[in-house]
Copies of this chain bind each other. A is one copy, B any other.
């Protein structure tokens, strides 16, 4: 993957990511109160680990734009709740039928299909109210509505759900073209990464110019991220990934349509585009730049 000469940078980034992940995890613990079985099921998946990529991007964007991270924290948590809902539903026997995620049993394996479906539903339904209830009142009401509208769009029938639906129906197709593959990846993975960055920027009062640059960054990072996931499904190890490998054999993926070498090349192109988009922020954007570089070198 993309070579970097600066391993010192990466170890600094790993410390940064680990600190931010801890901070997010503490916040996520407060998202679900109560102890009914439904709540246990929601907590199980929300707290089952994960990179916390989307919320970390949001904290980083807030820092770059000089915004108090407390202002984006509720939205960051809500976006991780929505991400978790999508994983629970993806893993269901009726969809991808995965028993392992992040090295742990998937939700339905422990709680049964019915409760897993409802736990996903509840995480999605709760997330919008969570933002409203927990965002500090010095974030303007207008901005908060913009944030909710963008998240709804990114998660819904023209966003993540559209990508997911086409991904499933493409499994039955003999041949899937490159345009369809890009549609699937853009929406299934990209839209929620994009909306994470954008909503953090909106709350942080980014200028139109800054918002456009960050959107450009996020869209390219989102695509690169999903292409790397596709590659790791082919070349990665189950133990490192914490999930089954070779599970995408029925799916349309970049390695399948482009081969491994070209897939990596395309991931690198998007990574470079993402980094270029950050130029207006100069050194302030170093962590966003490093996250994009790190993505193409990750093993899990």
User: Is A92 part of the contact surface with B, judged by Cβ < 8 Å?
Assistant: yes
| A156 touching B122 in the complex, CB below 8 Å, given contacts A132-B145, A148-B132, A162-B38 | yes
A129-180 at interface with B (beta carbon < 8 Å): 129-130, 132-133, 141-142, 144-145, 148-153, 155-162, 164-166, 168-169
The residue on B at minimum CB distance from A145 is B132
**What is the distance, in angstroms, from A81's C-beta to the closest C-beta of chain B?**
10
The stretch that binds B, out of A55-63, A110-118, A262-270, is A110-118
Binary flags per residue of A30-68, CB closer than 8 Å to B gives 1, else 0: 001010111100100000000000000000000000000
User: Is A254 part of the contact surface with B, judged by Cβ < 8 Å?
Assistant: no
**What is the distance, in angstroms, from A76's C-beta to the closest C-beta of chain B?**
17
How many Å lie between the Cα of A268 and that of B5 in the bound state? 77
User: Is A280 part of the contact surface with B, judged by Cβ < 8 Å?
Assistant: no
How many Å lie between the Cα of A170 and that of B186 in the bound state? 41
Binary flags per residue of A91-119, CB closer than 8 Å to B gives 1, else 0: 01111000000000000000011110111
User: Is A126 part of the contact surface with B, judged by Cβ < 8 Å?
Assistant: yes
> How many copies of the polypeptide does the oligomer hold?
2
User: Is A238 part of the contact surface with B, judged by Cβ < 8 Å?
Assistant: no
User: Is A121 part of the contact surface with B, judged by Cβ < 8 Å?
Assistant: yes
A-B contact pairs, 30 of them (CB 8 A): A36-B166, A37-B165, A37-B169, A38-B157, A38-B165, A39-B157, A42-B157, A82-B125, A86-B121, A89-B121, A94-B94, A94-B112, A95-B117, A118-B161, A119-B165, A121-B121, A122-B165, A124-B124, A125-B156, A126-B157, A128-B148, A128-B149, A129-B148, A129-B149, A129-B151, A129-B152, A132-B145, A133-B149, A141-B142, A144-B145
Main secondary structure on chain A at its contact with chain B?
A: helix
Q: Contacts of A39 on B, CB cut-off 8 Å?
A: 157
Do B121 and A158 touch across chains, with their CB atoms under 8 A apart? no
Pick the contact of A114: B36, B42, B168 (CB < 8 A): B168
User: Is A190 part of the contact surface with B, judged by Cβ < 8 Å?
Assistant: no
User: Is A120 part of the contact surface with B, judged by Cβ < 8 Å?
Assistant: yes
Pick the contact of A129: B34, B36, B120, B153 (CB < 8 A): B153
How many Å lie between the Cα of A126 and that of B150 in the bound state? 10
**What is the distance, in angstroms, from A196's C-beta to the closest C-beta of chain B?**
15
The residue on B at minimum CB distance from A183 is B36
Q: Contacts of A122 on B, CB cut-off 8 Å?
A: 156-157, 161-162, 165
Pick the contact of A94: B113, B126, B157 (CB < 8 A): B113
The residue on B at minimum CB distance from A93 is B94
